[in-house]
A and B are shown apart, each in its own frame.
Chain A
Amino acid sequence: DQQVKQNSPSLSVQEGRISILNCDYTNSMFDYFLWYKKYPAEGPTFLISISSIKDKNEDGRFTVFLNKSAKHLSLHIVPSQPGDSAVYFCAASSTYSGAGSYQLTFGKGTKLSVIP
Chain B
Amino acid sequence: EVRLVESGGGLVQPGGSLRLSCAASGFTFNTENMNWVRQAPGKGLEWLSYIGKTGEIIFYADSVKGRFIVSRDNVKNSLYLQMNSLRAEDTALYYCARGYGAAWLYDWGQGTLVTVSS
Chain B binds chain A: no
Interface residues of B (CB under 8 A from A): none
Binding site for B on A (CB under 8 A): none
